[in-house]
Amino acid sequence: MKAFFDFGNEFEDGSQTYLSGANSMMQPIDYDGDGIPDAIATPVDIDGDGIPDGVATYEDVNGDGMFDSIMATVDTNGDGITDFTSVYMDQNFDGVMDYSAAAMELDINGDGIVDGVILAEDADGDSVFETTQIMDAEEWAWYSGYQDPMLEPSEEGFSAGYEQFDPDSTNMDQVVGDPAGDAQCWDYQEENGPCAIYAQVMAYEAMTGQDIDPDEMIEVATEQGWYQDGTAITDMDKILNYLGAETEFGVNGDMEDLHECLENGGRIVVAVDGNEIWEGNQDVYAPNNPNHAVTVIGIDYSGEEPMVILNDSGTMDGHAIMVPESQFMDAWEDSGYSYVEAYA
């Protein structure tokens, strides 16, 4: 029989303080209806004013009678709607939290309706958020596994409202690269960290037509020391070389470098500030931080401003997204315009 929870099971990050002295208001939760509590919910008072402003749920995922997952949902502005969620998890059940995340709801267009979420994740339990993502309602519902009724899906279906490349809506004589074909090589990474590996795999698949398993490449990169919850900028060519591509690493790149590479049949992996790609040049969480990698698969010169066309594994439906040149350059600048040219 599953034991009831041991409140002495404290984690190194002090997560148990979420109880805020509210043990007397604990509410057992029986998810599976077997008559044995699987979790406990208790009010939390984040701002210390004596009034509960959220709920913490302590869950025993593996049934050993010890807490290994804690989620706190908080109404930060007192409007009765949850707008901040934090999660702590002990993924290997050793009594030490090794994953945490924080999600904050956004009103991107200022209409008073929440239509996006900022998600920050600490995947290795060192209390430092390594990655951040900005998602629209559809992306967040898919990622989190539930649809928050307070979130209104964006009409565009992408967090920053970008369009995806459509060869029927442009003058193909003014497009360099093969963005329509390369869009078929896009894949969603589903976890934080391996964006540079996915970018290299997408570039290689686009050049060769071969189908490469990104998970296998993550294993290779980990064994070789090229990947450890992320990839150094100077290592974002290693998988391409492993697969047999010829590469050239550069810094201080510009649009001409991208154009020439695409014109010559190559693909480019670039290091960028993902926040500026997804949401524009805003001071959100980690401004001016090259925290993401994408594949440049084309440039469309048909409009008033050139559009850089990317395969971005870090967001849903990130295939062949069109980013204005000025915004792309802002995001690319944060890595010193670092790039890898690749040729089959």
Cβ neighbours for 125, distance < 8 A, ≥ 6 positions apart: 13, 96, 97, 98, 99, 100
User: Greater confidence, 44 or 323?
Assistant: 323
Average pLDDT of the residues in 327-342: 94
Average pLDDT of the residues in 11-35: 47
Specify the range with the lowest mean pLDDT, choosing from 15-19, 51-55, 213-217, 238-242: 15-19
Which pLDDT band, with edges at 50, 70 and 90, does 99 fall under? confident
Select, from the ranges 5-14, 75-84, 115-124, 145-154, the one with the highest average predicted confidence (pLDDT).
115-124
pLDDT value for 23 = 37
Helix (H/G/I), strand (E/B), else coil: 181? helix
pLDDT value for 86 = 84
Give 82-108 as a DSSP string.
--EEEEEE-TT-SSS--EEEEEEEE-T
Which pLDDT band, with edges at 50, 70 and 90, does 226 fall under? very high
Give 240-288 as a DSSP string.
HHHHT-EEEEESS--HHHHHHHHHTT-EEEEEE-HHHHHH-S---SSTT
User: Greater confidence, 220 or 120?
Assistant: 220
Q: Check if the beta carbon of residue 324 is closer than 8 Å to that of residue 307.
A: yes
pLDDT value for 140 = 63
Chain segment 253-311, per-residue pLDDT in tens: 999 999 999 999 999 999 998 878 876 655 443 445 688 999 999 999 999 999 999 99
Specify the range with the lowest mean pLDDT, choosing from 11-15, 97-101, 216-220, 312-316: 11-15
Q: Which domains are delineated in the chain?
A: 15-144 (no CATH), 167-343 (3.90.70.10)
Give me the half-sphere count of Cα atoms (radius 13 Å) on the Cβ side of residue 320: 17
